[in-house]
Amino acid sequence: MSQLSTRHLLGIKNITQEDVELILQTAANFKEVINRPIKKVPSLRDITIANIFFENSTRTRLSFELAEKRLSADVVNFSSSNSSVKKGETLVDTVNNILSMKVDMVVMRHSSPGAPHFLSRNVKANIVNAGDGTHEHPTQALLDAFSIQEKLGDVAGKKVAIIGDILHSRVALSNIFCLQKLGAEVMVCGPITLLPKHIESLGVKVELDVRKALQWCDVANVLRIQLERQQIKYFPSLREYSLYYGINRKMLEELDKEIVIMHPGPINRGVELSSDVADSEHAIILEQVQNGVAVRMAVLYLLAGAKG
């Protein structure tokens, strides 16, 4: 199979295992390309891509923009903070205005869950979800799976613990779907107030003790506390959270095996991870960032070739 089963990347839930494997295989080829002295390929030379971000972003936006430029696409950047959205323009009108300028593909981040799905039904362009509220963040899950595969050889059979603010995290949901499609076992771990109700119905293990989670797993994917999404207090203080759920060097040294530490960023040092863990040989956090460019190149390249 050399083509995706879909025109859009809206979420991991919507794509097949074959789609995930194809994206990871293609990403491996592009990883080799971006490590060459000349990093550009002309694959998307006639394609125009609009990056439409209704929420703040550093890594994801830069990563997509770099991926697009490495593929020789023309890139248009849009930020809602200085746009007609502030004047009351609807999402569909905003995007249709951009598409009328002959844009082929839209990469969108939005605070409302389901916004990319809504858009895909109302506009003609290919849509890539760069994060929709607390719902999904598919390219992050794909780059995390690619990073595990690169580090450990395979994802199938591996035990992955996702630790932290599961309730408000779009990364957690996409990771659960992606890792399960690739044959990994998944555990979620955090304070009970930060775990969604009925999360075990997704086929994941649930653990409240971070030390037990670390002992169980091969890979710990640690999420930050998303204070900007929390309308009420879910725990007494960041200091208390750090005491019970923060991961430090001593905890890793007490394990009877070596594990891999991942983090989607941005890291709140001293809260979910201490600096001596984030900067240690266990962590592959910067490799994740580099792999993000290769994975997003693969997604854009494959979607550009998908038939509608």
pLDDT at 228: 56
Binding residues for carbamoyl phosphate: 59-60, 109, 137, 140, 265-266
On whether residue 1 sits in a domain, the answer given is no
Are the CB atoms for 181 and 128 separated by under 8 Å?
no
Average pLDDT value over all residues in the chain: 92
Q: Do 297 and 249 belong together in one domain? A: no
pLDDT at 127: 96
Nearest to 166 by CA among 196, 140, 130: 196
Look up tokens 């690169």; give the residue. Answer: 150
Q: Do 268 and 159 belong together in one domain? A: yes
Q: For residue 148, is pLDDT > 60?
A: yes
Q: Do 271 and 299 belong together in one domain? A: no
Encoded tokens for 94: 């905003």
Q: Do 168 and 283 belong together in one domain? A: yes
Q: Do 59 and 167 belong together in one domain? A: no
| Beta pairing partners, 247 | 273
Residue 292: which residues within 8 A CB-CB, separation 6 or more?
A: 59, 60, 63, 139, 140, 143
On whether residue 11 sits in a domain, the answer given is no
Q: Among 99-103, 192-196, 275-279, which stretch is predicted with the lowest mean pLDDT?
A: 99-103
Residue 231, domain extent: 139-288
Cα 138–144–149 angle (5° rounding)?
125
Q: Do 133 and 239 belong together in one domain? A: no
CA distance 145 to 287: 12
CA distance 297 to 110: 21
| Confidence grade of residue 94 (pLDDT, cut at 50, 70, 90) | confident
Q: Among 2-6, 18-22, 143-147, 253-257, which stretch is predicted with the lowest mean pLDDT?
A: 2-6
Q: Do 295 and 283 belong together in one domain? A: no
Q: Based on the structure, what is the number of domains in the chain?
A: 2
What tens digit of pLDDT does each residue of 225-253 get? 875 555 556 676 888 889 899 999 999 99
Look up tokens 């760069």; give the residue. Answer: 130
pLDDT above 70 covers a percentage of the chain that reads 94
What tens digit of pLDDT does each residue of 162-204 get? 999 999 899 999 999 999 999 999 999 999 999 999 999 999 9
Q: For residue 306, is pLDDT > 80?
A: no
pLDDT at 307: 52
Mean pLDDT across the stretch 5-17? 96
Are the CB atoms for 217 and 159 separated by under 8 Å?
yes
pLDDT at 230: 54
Q: Do 151 and 282 belong together in one domain? A: yes
Q: Do 132 and 143 belong together in one domain? A: no
Q: What is the pTM of this model?
A: 0.94
Strands in 185-189's sheet, in edge-to-edge order, are: 205-207, 185-189, 159-163, 219-222, 260-262
pLDDT at 146: 98
pLDDT at 237: 84
Mean pLDDT across the stretch 19-29? 97
Q: Do 65 and 202 belong together in one domain? A: no
pLDDT at 89: 78
Binding residues: 59-60, 87, 109, 137, 140, 170, 224, 265-266
CATH number of the domain that residue 151 is part of: 3.40.50.1370
Q: Do 300 and 271 belong together in one domain? A: no
How many C-beta atoms lie closer than 10 Å to residue 164's C-beta? 32
Number of residues assigned to the chain: 308
On whether residue 85 sits in a domain, the answer given is yes
On whether residue 224 sits in a domain, the answer given is yes
Binding residues for L-aspartate: 87, 170, 224
| Confidence grade of residue 99 (pLDDT, cut at 50, 70, 90) | confident
Give residue 276's identity as a one-letter amino acid code. Answer: D
Q: Which residue has the higher pLDDT, 105 or 228?
A: 105
What tens digit of pLDDT does each residue of 32-90 get? 999 999 999 999 999 999 999 988 888 899 999 999 999 999 999 987 765 566 567 78
